[in-house]
Structure 1
Amino acid sequence: MNRLVYITGASSGIGQALALRYYREGWSLALVARRVDDLTAWAQSQQLESARWRVYRADVSNVDEIVDVGRRCIAEQGLPDVVIANAGISIGMDTAIYEDLAVMQRIYATNNVGLAATFHPFVAAMRERRSGTLVGIASVAGIRGLPGHGAYCSSKAAVFSYCESLRGECRPDGVKVVTIAPGYVDTPLTRENRYGMPFLMQPEDFARKAYEAIEAGARVRFIPWQMGVVARAMRLLPGAVFDRLLAGRPRKHRQGET
């Protein structure tokens, strides 16, 4: 019987690339997105075997919706072997602008509360089964704060610490928690960035390395490895030096800016 992977944010970017990688490795797919028509059209265009995939509509930022979809997946396809909380958003913000507080709220609702709500339907059942892997998608941007990127950076910093907490809770019951920290991947999320993106990866290359890390049960994996070196260096930089390096760096664009 094929193993089952559950992926949120599967209609584009790295979520879609992960779905294709898992399918090619012989897995069945439970795919979650808001744009189910686009996702269904993509799966059909890839000629995926119909018995091996199913699409669910949910907005990850809506706790009741995403929890309900997880329960439906268990009822209709069984308990997944791997759950990847991939859905996330990245929008710049300016704390001096009142409307941007709502942007921060939206980012946290998706990237943090939505991640926990994605895992919720599966945790107890995986513990009872004493197997399974929960995967949180963090980011190298979660290591230090970047100008105009306060909401996103802090949300991804929270993914690191949340997954670390969950890892300690689940380890005694045989459930793994893997944190994947992408660097820059060529997706719609990054194409509007107004600054350099070193070691930019194609989604399919990221998906291959992420699959290998998840299969290996890695605790935390930076992809590509060069960004892991960058992350370690960023952690070690004194604050004053870090501030000088960022002086004049273009800010992350706000919603509606070009």
Structure 2
Amino acid sequence: MAGAAPRVDSRQPPLVFITGASSGIGQALARRFHAAGWRLALVARRAEETAAWARAQGLAEGTWAVYAADVRQTTDIVAAGKACIAQQGLPDVVIANAGISIGMDSAIEADLEVMRATLETNNLGMAATFHPFIAPMCERRSGTLVGIASVAAIRGLPGHGAYCASKAAVVSYCESLRGDCRPFGVKVVTVAPGYIDTPLTQRNPYSMPFLMSPDDFADRAYEAIKDGVSYRVIPWQMGVVAKLMRILPNGLFDRLVAGRGRKPRQGS
């Protein structure tokens, strides 16, 4: 762990716990929350690199900490959550942002491992991220758990089988968890990004309508999380597209996506 903060008291600013904080959306969310006066608990596999980024951003020591963990390793991410509680206190917001997006072809046996890695990261990793915080948040009767889904959850796209399946599972999982937590005053927010200009999307060989910067996304996500909405597509234009995609008859949808560029496979 790098940049550890001391044990907190109730007079300190609120705390947000963010996985996948080493790049892209995770870093943008960290910047946005810090600008709003929040303390940060940042989780990344590249802990020292993330700590160096925090210092380069000029984030004051004592307002942030970095925890090294790979969300695919449930014992590691659960331990990171428990360490956060011990060192910084129980967060007010937990954002399960860590995720991967790799193209796959189910006719290729090696790509079955791509699906395994995607589901372990995007789904099991999310549940393991939330796990250490659920019981204490429910006991406190406050807190917000945030799952980062995707508009790719709406319909299955050719070459995106693992990613689309994982993000559809995020939506359903968070909906289920919302029902579990609501009686205890704990909110569950699902944020579904459209196309955000991050390393995950920069290799996509197809058009990406309404592409937005990570910082613009973070601004809108911050407001959604602060308002405690149950589900939000960002940007809103992609929400309209998603609803139209959902109601398209299968035959028409299949014709529309025929010939669309496929997500690059691992190593391609």
Give the stretch that moved more between structures: 36-45 or 209-218.
Answer: 36-45
- Matched AA of 1:251: R
- Candidates 112, 122, 126, aligned match of 1:111: 122
Give the stretch that moved more between structures: 38-47 or 6-15.
Answer: 38-47
CA shift, 1:38, in A, is 1.5
Aligned position for 1:34: 45
Aligned position for 1:127: 138
Write the distance in 1 (CA, Å) between the matches of 2:213 and 2:17.
22
1:208 maps onto 2:208 in alignment: no
Write the distance in 2 (CA, Å) between the matches of 1:76 and 1:42.
21
- Secondary structure, aligned partner of 1:6: strand
Aligned position for 1:196: 207
Write the distance in 1 (CA, Å) between the matches of 2:187 and 2:265.
36
CA shift, 1:250, in A, is 1.1
Aligned position for 2:112: 101
- Secondary structure, aligned partner of 1:51: coil
CA offsets per residue over residues 49-86 of structure 1, 9 Å max, x none? 01100000000010110001100100110000000000
Which stretches in structure 2 are left out of the alignment for 5+ residues? 1-11
- Secondary structure, aligned partner of 1:20: helix
1:50 maps onto 2:61 in alignment: yes
Aligned position for 1:246: 257
Runs of 4+, deviation exceeding 4 Å: none
Write the distance in 2 (CA, Å) between the matches of 1:166 and 1:205.
28
- Secondary structure, aligned partner of 1:98: coil
- Candidates 23, 26, 29, aligned match of 1:15: 26
- Secondary structure, aligned partner of 2:17: strand
- Secondary structure, aligned partner of 2:219: helix
- Candidates 72, 76, 79, aligned match of 1:65: 76
Write the distance in 1 (CA, Å) between the matches of 2:160 and 2:20.
21
CA offsets per residue over residues 207-254 of structure 1, 9 Å max, x none? 000000000001100000000001100110011110000111111110
Write the distance in 2 (CA, Å) between the matches of 1:148 and 1:232.
21
CA shift, 1:41, in A, is 1.1
- Matched AA of 1:9: G
1:237 maps onto 2:248 in alignment: yes
CA offsets per residue over residues 121-180 of structure 1, 9 Å max, x none? 000000000000000000000100001000000000000000000000100000000000
Aligned position for 1:187: 198
CA shift, 1:200, in A, is 0.3
CA RMSD of aligned residues (A): 0.4
Percent identity over the alignment is 69
Write the distance in 2 (CA, Å) between the matches of 1:155 and 1:218.
22
